[in-house]
Copies of this chain bind each other. A is one copy, B any other.
Amino acid sequence: MAWDVTLDDVEAIAIGAGVLGTGGGGNTYLGRVRLARELRLHNAPCHIIDVDNLPDNAVICAVSGMGAPTVGIEKLASGNELENAVRRLSEYLHAPIEALIIGEIGGSNAIEPLITGLRLGLPVVDGDAMGRAFPELQMDTFSIGGVSPSPMALGDAHGNVVIFDHIDTPLRAEEYARNLTIEMGGSSGLVMPMMTGKQVKQFIIRGTLSLAHKLGQVVLSSRRRAIDPAEAVAAAANGRVLFTGKIVDLYRRTTKGFARGYMKITSFSDDSDHMEIEFQNENLIARHNGSLVCTVPDLITLLLFEDGEPIGTESLRYGLRVSVLGMPAPEELKTDAALEVVGPTAFGYEDVPFKPLPGDLRAGSSPVPMHHL
Contacts and interface: CB of A to CB of B under 8 A. Distances in A.
Contact of A160 (B92, B161, B167): B167
Contacts of A92: 92, 163, 165
A91 to B, nearest CB: 8
Interface in A60-92: 84, 88, 92
Interface in A153-198: 153, 158-168, 172, 175-176, 179-180, 182-184
Q: Among the interface residues A150, A166, A167, A182, which one has the most CB atoms of the partner chain B within 10 A?
A: A166
A162 B183 contact: no
How would you classify the secondary structure of chain A's contact residues: helix, strand, loop or mixed?
mixed
A184 B175 CA distance: 9
B183 A176 contact: yes
Interface residues of A, number: 24
B168 A175 contact: no
Contacts of A183: 175-176, 179-180
A256 B164 CA distance: 22
A176 B158 contact: no
A271 B158 CA distance: 54
B184 A162 contact: no
Q: How many copies does the complex hold?
A: 2
A228 B46 CA distance: 77
Interface in A103-153: 150, 153
Nearest to A152: B162
A63 B153 CA distance: 23
A161 B159 CA distance: 21
A159 B175 CA distance: 15
A176 B180 contact: yes
A161 B92 CA distance: 14
Nearest to A182: B179
Contacts of A163: 92, 162-165
A92 B92 CA distance: 7
A166 B160 CA distance: 5
A176 B162 CA distance: 9
A166 B159 contact: yes
A92 B162 CA distance: 13
A197 to B, nearest CB: 25
B161 A166 contact: yes
Nearest to A183: B179
Contacts of A176: 160, 162, 180, 183-184
Given A176-B180, A179-B182, A183-B175, A161 B165 contact: yes
A88 B182 CA distance: 25
Contacts of A175: 183
Nearest to A172: B160
Interface of A: 84, 88, 92, 150, 153, 158-168, 172, 175-176, 179-180, 182-184
18 contacts: A88-B165, A92-B92, A92-B163, A92-B165, A150-B160, A158-B168, A159-B166, A160-B164, A160-B166, A160-B167, A160-B168, A160-B172, A161-B165, A162-B162, A162-B176, A176-B180, A179-B180, A180-B183
Given A84-B166, A160-B172, 19 more contacts: A88-B166, A92-B92, A92-B165, A150-B160, A158-B168, A158-B172, A159-B166, A160-B164, A160-B168, A161-B165, A162-B164, A162-B165, A162-B176, A163-B164, A163-B165, A176-B184, A179-B179, A179-B180, A179-B183
